Structure 1
């Protein structure tokens, strides 16, 4: 992908976000676009950086460690988000590298992050991931467990920015987005990390503050 191609794809996505936001009477600037760069090498990511984009998402700590320190050193204002599952024993590595973690989903991970915070480690932005479709194969906490996890995070001194979810594939995403938005409102959380390449416009219209877009920016893997 050339810088010109990257700029064109970026323009298409940001234009679509802006259009959906305006339809929902929202400010497009309130929606953060996370370019999901998982499985892509640094050389494939660089054109999007050159086109001006600064917010990226990865699924795995180890993969991100292999490519992002050098990219961030060259472009210090890059913002890196972890959107995949995080093992508790990788919490320190994740906190050191990422500016946001979207996959906080269980007590043991909250406890690991809490220990780091208690030791004086600066925390990235944190989102609780909810298994909104109650799918056994997906990460995220059960809907019923959200209050308990938020309370545990508060007890550990952790600030939770919002909720994250991935709706079931091949279904209408809007009801799941609406349910996540309702949950967030019920708990006084402003952040909503939801929406991917196939449904980010719907997510924006329902209130997404962060959309996670890969294919529309990088092309099919």
Structure 2
């Protein structure tokens, strides 16, 4: 068995133990974060049957995944990185989920492009949960306004996404984003990476973004 597949199976088993221990009903989806890795590195996991993959850059995703998605229409691609408005039309051609909506300008561009392409994508609103100047994401006090704007645009907002501050205990931030998500009555929650995914599971994450723990460190 390929190393990445074994690591993936080990992660799934750890998640199973955690949700059984915490008596959590919903098993979270694992997004295998394949950014910077070539398709050869990812193929064993695709062949094993895993379907959800995450990329940070639109152009890289198009070059890497266009043919493979044509071959296997069940593959679901998640855009995790910041999306520039001039890349929206290209992003909608390849991605099924966008996890990084953080402004009304970007939301409007996506809504317009959805009409042009006759396609709906599933959307997470990225929240700057730690109020960090260097990070993308809508401020918490502007979240409700952005969410209502997206609803008016008929965007399919399914949940919130966050990246907790590095070198801090993510638990308090996971709890906070969970409560915000619950307040908006959204069904999904995108949080947790290789370093903290089990803590995210404890706080009811439904989409985990795991890369290096599956594919190894990036060069």
Q: TM-score range by the shorter chain?
A: over 0.9
The DSSP-based 3-state class of the residue aligned with 1:33 is: strand
Q: Distance in 2 between matches of 1:157 and 1:118?
A: 11
Cα deviation for residue 144 of structure 1 reads: 0.7
2:79 pairs with 79, 82, 88, which one? 82
Residue matched to 1:159: 156
Q: SS in structure 2 opposite 1:129? A: strand
Residue 120 (structure 1) shift: 6.0
What is the TM-score of this pair, normalised by structure 1?
Answer: 0.95
CA contact (8 A) 1:23 1:205 kept: no
Q: 1:10 aligns to what?
A: 8
Q: Shift of the alpha carbon at 1:159?
A: 2.1
- For structure 1, which segment, 205-214 or 5-14, has the greater mean C-alpha deviation from structure 2 after superposition? 5-14
The answer to whether the 8 Å contact 1:6/1:51 transfers is no
CA contact (8 A) 1:55 1:81 kept: yes
Out of 94, 100, 114, the residue aligned to residue 117 of structure 1 is 114
Matched, 1:146 2:146: no
State the shift of 1:33 in Å.
Answer: 0.3
Q: Please say if residues 110 and 153 of structure 1, whose CA atoms lie closer than 8 Å, have aligned partners that are also in contact.
A: yes
- Equivalent position SS for 1:132: coil
Q: Deviations over 1:61-96 (max 9, x none)?
A: 011011101222233211110011001111111111
Q: 1:136 corresponds to which residue?
A: 133
Q: Deviations over 1:39-70 (max 9, x none)?
A: 00111111211222111000010110111012
CA distance in 1, matches of 2:171, 2:156: 27
**Farther-moved stretch of structure 1 (112-121 vs 151-160):** 112-121
Q: Identify unmatched segments of 5+ residues in structure 2.
A: none
User: Are residue 53 (structure 1) and residue 50 (structure 2) matched?
Assistant: yes
1:27 aligned onto 2:25: yes
1:72 aligns to 2:57 (yes or no) = no
Q: Distance in 2 between matches of 1:96 and 1:117?
A: 10
**8 Å Cα contact 2:98/2:121 also seen in 1:** yes
Q: Which residue of 1 aligns with 2:178?
A: 181
In the other structure, the counterpart of 1:108 is 105
Between 47-56 and 188-197, the greater mean CA deviation after superposition: 47-56
Unaligned runs of 5+ residues in structure 1 are none
Aligned-residue offset at 1:27: 3.3
Comparing 114-123 and 132-141, the one that deviates more: 114-123
Look up the SS of the partner of 1:114 in the other structure. helix
3-state secondary structure, aligned to 1:211: strand
